[in-house]
Structure 1
Amino acid sequence: MQRFQRIRRGLFLSAILAAAPLAAQAAWPDQPIRLIVPYAAGGGADNVARVIAGPLGEKLGQSIIVENRPGAGATIAEGVVARSAPDGYTVLYDTFTYAVNASLRKLNFNPSKDLTPVALTATAPLILVVNPKVKANNLAEFVTLAKNPDNKVTYASYGIGSAAHLAAELLARDAGLTMLHIPYKGGAPALVDLVGGQVNAYFANASSGLPYVRNGTLRALAVSSAKRLNTLPDVPTVAESGYPGFEVLEWHGVFVPHGTPPDVARKLADAVQAVISSPDVVKRLNSLGIDPSTIPPSGAQAYIDDQVKRWSTLIKDRNISLE
């Protein structure tokens, strides 16, 4: 009889322990969530993360604490999240750089195995801008200018492997250009030197480049998106300027550690999707020159896998390195 009671107690305890993770998932979130941003406060990614964080916290019923962990091309923050407990309380807010880091840097984690994309939040086109002294009024004229090595055309970026850098390298490959890359530590100093004439061209993100185009300080030659920008309807895309299929977008996304319970990841994804679809958030993102992502959470993994493949191929083809 005692043996039978012990067995019953054992089965009862086992049932409780088995149900505990499910109960924890159902209760998620029951504490604040850390949103780790790999870039400095006040930058483009940080601004978008903060636009989303408030409404996301309201949607989930918990505070979203934005934590900036810049450095090492975003890999410090990526590593922090990759090594965090897969419980949904430490979330990564990353961008385009995520897709190129494994091709450029030695990592102490494996992005494809240690991190899982939950949802894409936003995309931002780039604008190819030049100093007005550059004798090119459109992309065709710029290509002709840059094909001549005697002209020594230079282009700026906000770092090796950035969207601005790889957009220019993609154009150089497709158009057969000879240009010198001048990397800066951020978009602001790149724009300062472009305006000053120290460099000739730059694929600026729309939010930072638009004011200079509107006041005539810089000349826009083309945009990197598949469609023209509503804010620059007279500026053609690179694709329609003679390079079909050319498209480069700075994208933003939300990631969790691999092994996060599917129900938790799904709840987070649904909340993110609801937030970026809300009229107020759409309006605030548009004011920054950014569009909410049109890719559903179910397509996030495939999109990022494609980005990793695409840019690793270009990095290899163009022999790009951090040295």
Structure 2
Amino acid sequence: MSLTRRSLLIAGTVAGCLPAAGQALAADAWPSKPIKLVVPYPPGGSSDIIARSISQPLSAALGQSVIVENKPGANGNLGADFVAKAAPDGYTLLLCDVGALAISPSVYTKLSFDPSKDLRGVTMLAYSPHLLVVHPSVKAGNLKELVALSKTSDLNFAVTATGSAPHLAGVALQRAVDARWTYVPYKGGVQAIQDTVGGQTQVLMNGMLATLPHVQSGKLKVLGVSKATRMPLIGDVPTIAEQGVPGFESGTWQGVKAPRGTPDAVVQRLNQALVTAIRSPDIRSRLAGQGAEVVTMTPAEEEQFFNKERARWAQVVRAADIRLD
């Protein structure tokens, strides 16, 4: 074998190893500066609660500050777009309702990014079912009574945003039980809750994590939970499925996504650190006490979940003819 040929073979072998070596070096060097955890909703909602719960243990696990930054707007799409267009280096992450993000491509005709192509899954963190609640003045003690009332009274149904997961859950429920109400869109769950507590709107479906404190204080009355089984915290409250809507299940799925192109090694390390943080006994116990259960996934599992949710809710969007520019 000639020296020249041997040199070429060695060079080719080294070049073939460079991508893997580069991934390893990227993981070893990362993180070398603070990490931004973008929540695309206003403060006080389910995603914000989760983000602020894990920021300190995540910072301890990674050895860098983790900064929670709220970028609300357009049902979470402004913050998601910001992350989708950020450098794919692991320093800008999105913590959002993954189910709501999966809905956006079906609802918005002019979405400025493609969640499937521009973002990649890191992990799921927690699940919180929707609670069907009403203002205490509403004379209904269960779903059947609420449906009957909706046909004789004007009921306003507060939604966190047009095309949001709670909105579509409300639409699916309305179609299943033939209820009648008017949807009133807000710019986030906190405002929707506040107006229902104040009586400006009468009905609401929203994540249990953010809604349960208002039920416990007596400011809202809960009629049902959108989970396959009853929740221990409110074990006397029947599921919506038990009340004549078999198989009805919805909720908020908080998870983390990174810009597409973020190195696999960085994503894997992020996954491990996030899973460790959310599974810590203190956080798990705290969330359980608020109605959320820890649900973690591998990056591949999170992507599969996202795709299934996208297909599931696309059918509801088409049936209800919900489209926004």
Per the TM superposition, whether the score is higher than 0.5 is yes
The alpha-carbon distance between structure 1 residues 30 and 39, as it changes in their structure 2 partners (threshold 3 A), is: same
Query: Residue 174 in 1 paired to residue 197 in 2?
Result: no
| Map of 1:109 onto structure 2 | 113
Report deviation, 1:185: 2.7
Report deviation, 1:286: 2.7
| Map of 1:75 onto structure 2 | 77
Report deviation, 1:287: 4.1
| Map of 1:152 onto structure 2 | 154
Query: Do 1:273 and 1:296's aligned partners in 2 also have CA atoms closer than 8 Å?
Result: no
| Map of 2:186 onto structure 1 | 184
Query: Do 1:128 and 1:220's aligned partners in 2 also have CA atoms closer than 8 Å?
Result: yes
Q: Secondary structure at the match of 1:244?
A: coil
The alpha-carbon distance between structure 1 residues 322 and 18, as it changes in their structure 2 partners (threshold 3 A), is: closer
Query: Do 2:87 and 2:259's aligned partners in 1 also have CA atoms closer than 8 Å?
Result: yes
Q: Distance in 1 between matches of 2:102 and 2:320?
A: 16
Provide Cα deviations, 1:6-31, integer angstroms capped at 9, x if missing partner: 97997798589656513423414231
Query: Do 2:123 and 2:296's aligned partners in 1 also have CA atoms closer than 8 Å?
Result: no
The alpha-carbon distance between structure 1 residues 235 and 27, as it changes in their structure 2 partners (threshold 3 A), is: same
Residue pairs, 1:42-121, within 5 angstroms: 42-95=44-97, 96-105=99-108, 106-121=110-125
- Select between 35-44 and 166-175 the one with higher mean Cα deviation: 35-44
Query: Do 2:122 and 2:256's aligned partners in 1 also have CA atoms closer than 8 Å?
Result: yes
Paired amino acid for 2:114: N
Provide Cα deviations, 1:118-147, integer angstroms capped at 9, x if missing partner: 10011112211122332221112212222x
Paired amino acid for 1:134: V
Residues matched between the structures, number: 321
| Map of 2:32 onto structure 1 | 31
Provide Cα deviations, 1:74-116, integer angstroms capped at 9, x if missing partner: 2222222222232222221121321121122212221111111
Query: Do 1:82 and 1:109's aligned partners in 2 also have CA atoms closer than 8 Å?
Result: yes
Question: What are the ranges of 5 or more consecutive residues in structure 1 without an aligned counterpart?
Answer: none
TM-score, scaled to structure 1:
0.88
Q: Distance in 1 between matches of 2:322 and 2:135?
A: 26
Q: Distance in 1 between matches of 2:29 and 2:299?
A: 19
| Map of 2:266 onto structure 1 | 264
Q: Distance in 2 between matches of 1:198 and 1:19?
A: 58
Let me know the Cα RMSD of the aligned residues: 2.8
Q: Distance in 2 between matches of 1:267 and 1:192?
A: 39
Q: Distance in 2 between matches of 1:197 and 1:65?
A: 36
Provide Cα deviations, 1:229-287, integer angstroms capped at 9, x if missing partner: 22211100001111111011111111112222222212211222222211012123234
Q: Distance in 2 between matches of 1:19 and 1:298?
A: 19
| Map of 2:301 onto structure 1 | 299
| Map of 2:218 onto structure 1 | 216
TM-score, scaled to structure 2:
0.87
Query: Residue 131 in 1 paired to residue 135 in 2?
Result: yes
Q: Secondary structure at the match of 1:52?
A: helix
Question: What are the ranges of 5 or more consecutive residues in structure 2 without an aligned counterpart?
Answer: none
Q: Distance in 2 between matches of 1:15 and 1:306?
A: 36
Query: Do 1:51 and 1:284's aligned partners in 2 also have CA atoms closer than 8 Å?
Result: no
